[in-house]
Structure 1
Amino acid sequence: MMTFDQILPVVKTVLAPHAALIARIQPVVINRDLNGRVRLIVSANVERETETWAGCRSIVKELAERLGAHAFPAEQMILLEDDMTSVLTDVPGFTLEGFEGVIVVDRLASEGRWASIAPVSDGVPRVVFFSIKGGVGRSTSLAASAWSLAESGKRVLVLDLDLESPGLSSGLLPADKRPAYGITDWLVEDLVNNGGAVFEDMVATSELAHDGEIYVVPAHGSAPGDYIAKLGRVWMPKINEQGKQERWSQRLSRLLDQLEQRWQPDIILIDSRSGIDEVASSCVTDLGAGLVLLFAIDGEQTWSGYRILFSYWHQADVVRDIRERLQLVGAMIPETSAIEYFANLKERSWDLFSDALYDEVPPGATTDELWNFDDSDEVAPHYPWPIKWHRGFAALTSLHTRLEQIDRQEVRSIYGTLVDGLNDFSGDIQ
C-alpha cells in the first residue's frame, strides 16, 4: 500500500535512471500539494525539445503508476513554468537527496518552516527556550534566568511567544504592572498598519531587578479583550508597501527588531511554544537566535520528538545551519537518584546527537575537521545543562512572589549552569 512516507523513496527510484535528463533540464521541482499529491514542475522550454519532452512524459507516467493516490493522473503530472525562479521563491523546499537540481517543495496548510533557517541576528544575542513537550519548567527557567542576568547588571528583554498558552509575564510582573497590550495585539494591529498605536504600551519593566532591567513583552495585555478572535488572526500574512506578501513570522521578526532598537537590551530571551508547530518553528528558525535551548526530560516523548525534528533537518539539508546553535538542557533533575538520572539523560542525549547531528568519523580519521564531540565532553551541545527540580519553583503562577524573596545563591544552586551558559553566550562570563 502506497503511503505519504513512501513518496520520496519512490521518486528517487523513478528518477535514478534519468540522471542525465534531469541534469539537462534542472531545476526540476517535485511539488507536493496540500493533499500530499505530487506533480513535476519544469521549465516551459522542455516541451519544445521532442526527445527531452518524451523523457519527461515517461518519468511522470511511471510516477503516476507507482505513487497511486499520491499522484495526479499522468496527463496532469507536469506543470510548465516560464519563470522557474518564481516557483522557488519564498516557499519551503529542499534538495532531493542524491539529485542535484531536484527540489522538493511542500505546499503546507500551516506556515511552519522548519526547513528554512534564518541567519543569526547581527544585533544583541537572542536565545530561544524550546521544548518538544510542555510541563518541563521551560518558562520558569526563563523567568529565573532573566532575573539572574538582570541581577548581574544586564538589560534583559523577555518575549512570551507561547501565544496559545500565555503566562510567562505572571512570573515577572504583578497583575497591576502588566502592560496594556501584548504581542498578539501588535500582530493584529500591524495587519492594518496600526502597530504603532500599541507599540509603546506593550512593554513593562519588572520591579524584580535591582542592578539591571527586565523588559517584559507579554503575549497579551493586562485586559486580554477578544483574545481568541485576535489569536485567530495573528498568523495572517500581510501585503507590505512593496506589494510583496510578508509571512506572519517575518512580521514577528520585524517587531523583534523594533523592540531591540527601542529598548536596547543586552540579551533577548524568547519563550517558545512547545511542540513541532508553526509558532515553535518561527521561534527556533526565523528569529535569528544564536542559541536554542532544547529542554528535555528523560522520557520517550522527548527523544522521539527531537529525533523527528533532527531527521527533518537532515532531510531538508539544513542541519549544518542550525546544529551549532543547539544546546540540550536537562530539565527538572529529580532530588532522588539524581546522579543516575543525569547519567542516563546524558547517554540518551549523546545517542541522539551523535546519530542525528554529529559528523560521522570514518575509521582512522581525526575529528579536527569534523563536527563531533566525545560523549563526556562537557562543552558539547549534547551534554545537558542541568536544572534541579525545586518545590519553590514548581509553579510559575507563584514565581513573582518567589523571586521577590529569593537571593542569588538559591537561584544559582538550581539554575547555575544555565545562567553561566547564557552569560558565556552573551560574552560576559561570570
Structure 2
Amino acid sequence: MNEALDNSVPAHPDHLYTWVDVNNYFAELARGGLWPSWLREVDGYWDSVRFSVDPSVASTEAWSWIRSVLGPLTIDQERQLLLLDDAGRERPLAIEFVNANDIPSSDRQPRWTNRRVVAELAQPLPAPRPTPHDMPVVAFHSFKGGVGRTLHCVAAARRLADAGRRVLLIDADLEAPGITWMVAESTRMDFAYEDFLALVHGTIDQTYPEAISLGRKFLANQELDGVVVMPARRDRGRITPAQIEPVDLLTTDRDPYVLTEALAELGHALGVDAVLVDLLAGASELSAPLLLDPRVLRVFVTTISDQSVRGTAQILRELARRAPARQQTDPDCGLVVTQFNPLDHDGRLAAVATEPRSTDECRVGGTPETESAL
C-alpha cells in the first residue's frame, strides 16, 4: 500500500478534539490506502490510542509514521502522548503499542460506521453470493425526506400488481413509517418488519424457519390486490424507537448480507415476483445492510434541489467505493427525479442527471437510469 499522503487526505488533521476525531482521521487514511504494512489497527479510547503493530517493526519507524500523519506538534514522543486540541490546558491521550499478532482479523460488515479502523477499509466489502431463488429485491432510498420516495415505492408496487405481478411491499422506515400509515385503515397488521427482524435475529439457521413460516401465515391476510404489505410495526400509534434494527442481525455467525437473504427467502415462500422496500432517508444504519448489497436494485429518489442532488451523489460515491457491482447480474442503480416542472426546470434536469454520474467513481454497476416525474 501507498505509505505516503496524497492530495485526497489533509497533510495533518485540522482538529482533534476527542478520540472520536482520532479514529475518524485514521479511518480516512485507511480508506485512502495510506496505511503502512506493519500496522494492523488503530483504536482510540477516551484516555488512549492503541496502535496494533507488527512486532518486527522498529519503534523508531512507527513513531516516525505517526508524527508524519498527525504532525509534530500533536505528538509528544518522550512522554508517549497524543495531544488533543486544547483551550489553555493539556488534553493528552496515551499512545500504546500492542502486538498485531494478538489482534483478530477484521470482520467486514455492510454498515456505514466501521467498528474497527483497519487497512481493509480501503477495500470493497466482500462480494455476496447470488440472491436466493433469483428473487429481485428493490430498495427505494433518498438522501432527504419529503422528496416522494415512499410515493414512488408504492406506485411501483401498484404498477407491477396491475401488470399481473405479485409484490411484497415492505415499510422499512422504522422512524417515520409512511406506508404503515397509508394502509393502517385498509388492511390487517398482524405481521410487521420489526417482527421479521426479531425472528431472523433469533436464529442462526440460514433458512430462517420461524420468520418464514409466521410471515407466510400472517402476510396472506395483508394482501391488497396483488400487493402483500409488511408494515414497519403492528402498532402504528407507537412512536418510540424500534427495539430491533437491521444492523442487529450483523453478527459474526451470520452471512453479512443476511437481511437480503432473509427477504428473498420470504418473497419466495410467499410466491411473489419481487420484494420492494421503502428505506429511511439519509445515511442511516437502518438502511445500510440493503444499500451496501450490490445485488439489490437501489432506486434513488431526488428533487432537483442542490442539497438533494449532491447528497444523492455522495451516497452513490460511497456505494461505488464500498459495494461496487462485481457480478454480471448486479443491477444498475436507478435515479428518479421528482417535483419537476418542465417550464421552470428544463435547463436544470440535465445537470441533475449528470451530477450523480459525473465521474467513473460514482458509477455503481453502470449508468443510473433517469426518470422525471411531474
Judge conservation of contact 1:42–1:80 (CA < 8 Å) in 2: yes
* Aligned 8 A contact 1:161 1:273 in 2: yes
1:259 matched to 2:274? The reply is no
Corresponding position of 1:81: 100
Secondary structure of 2:190 counterpart: coil
The one of 146, 155, 180 equivalent to 2:157 is 146
- In 1, Cα distance between the equivalents of 2:223 and 2:270? 16
SS at match of 2:244: coil
Equivalence for 1:328: 335
Change (3 A) 1:190 1:7: closer
Calculate the aligned-residue CA RMSD, in Å: 4.3
Instruction: Deviation per CA, 1:328-369: give whole Å up to 9, x if none.
Output: 1111223xxx1552441221331341136468xxxxxxxxxx
* Residue 352 of structure 2: aligned partner: 348
Matched residue, 2:311: 305
Instruction: Give the Cα–Cα distance (whole angstroms) in 2 for the partners of residues 10 and 180 of structure 1.
Output: 45
Is 1:167 aligned to residue 178 of structure 2?
yes
Structure 2 unpaired stretches of 5+: 1-13, 75-82, 86-90, 113-117, 204-209
Structure number with the higher helix fraction is: 1
Q: Which amino acid aligns with 2:106?
A: L
Aligned to 1:155: 166
Could you tell me which residue of structure 2 aligns to residue 178 of structure 1?
A: 188
- Is it true that 1:124 corresponds to 2:131 in the alignment? no
Aligned equivalent of 2:298, options 284, 292, 295: 292
- Closer/same/farther in 2, CA of residues 135 and 61 from structure 1, 3 Å limit: closer
C-alpha offsets along residues 139-165 of structure 1, whole Å, 9 cap, x if unaligned? Answer: 111212111111111121211111111
Is the contact made by 1:204 and 1:217 (CA closer than 8 Å) also made in structure 2?
no
CA–CA separation in structure 2 for the residues paired with 1:133 and 1:35: 33
Alignment-derived partner of residue 387 in structure 1:
373
Q: For 1:159 and 1:10, how far apart are their aligned partners in 2?
A: 35
Aligned-partner Cα distance in 2 for 1:8–1:129: 32
Q: 1:276 pairs with 268, 276, 283, which one?
A: 283
Aligned 1:3-402 pairs, distance under 5 A: 3=16, 4=21, 7=25, 22=36, 26=37, 28-31=39-42, 33=44, 39-43=50-54, 45-46=55-56, 52-63=58-69, 65-66=71-72, 68-69=83-84, 73=93, 75-76=95-96, 78-82=97-101, 86-90=104-108, 103=119, 116=125, 119=128, 121-122=131-132, 123-171=134-182, 173=183, 175-192=185-202, 195=211, 198-204=214-220, 208-209=224-225, 213-221=226-234, 223-224=235-236, 228=240, 231-234=242-245, 237=248, 244-246=252-254, 250=257, 252-286=259-293, 288-289=295-296, 291-313=297-319, 316=321, 318-319=323-324, 325-334=332-341, 338-355=342-359, 357=361, 380-381=367-368, 384-388=370-374
C-alpha contact (below 8 Å) 1:131/1:295 kept by paired residues: yes
**How far apart are the structure 2 equivalents of 1:83 and 1:239?**
23
* Identical residues among aligned pairs (%): 19
Query: Tell me, what secondary structure is at the counterpart of 1:274?
Result: coil
Q: Provide the rounded CA distance (Å) in 2 between the counterparts of 1:254 and 1:104.
A: 24
C-alpha displacement at 1:309, in angstroms?
2.4
TM-score (norm 1): 0.61
CA contact (8 A) 1:39 1:72 kept: no
Provide the rounded CA distance (Å) in 2 between the counterparts of 1:125 and 1:158. Answer: 12
Q: CA deviation at 1:306?
A: 2.1
- Which 10-residue stretch deviates more, 27-36 or 183-192? 27-36
Distance in 1 between residues matched to 2:110 and 2:290, nearest whole Å: 16
Report the CA distance between 1:180 and its aligned residue.
Answer: 0.8
In the alignment, which residue of structure 2 is the partner of 1:392? none
Is the CA contact 2:147–2:302 (under 8 Å) kept in the aligned structure 1? Answer: yes
- Structure 2 distance, partners of 1:259, 1:354, is 37
What does the per-residue CA deviation read over 1:103-134, in whole Å, with 9 as the maximum and x for residues that have no partner? 1659xxxxxxx964754625222211111111
TM-score by length of 2: 0.69
CA–CA distance in 2 between the matches of 1:301 and 1:65?
A: 34
Query: Conserved in 2, the CA contact under 8 Å of 1:136 and 1:295?
Result: yes
Match of 1:423 in 2: none
Q: Deviation of residue 9 (structure 1)?
A: 10
Give unmatched runs, 5+ long, in structure 1: 95-101, 107-113, 360-370, 373-379, 389-430
What is the Cα deviation at residue 219 of structure 1?
Answer: 0.9
Kindly indicate whether the alpha-carbon contact (under 8 Å) linking 1:31 and 1:104 is maintained by their aligned counterparts in 2: no
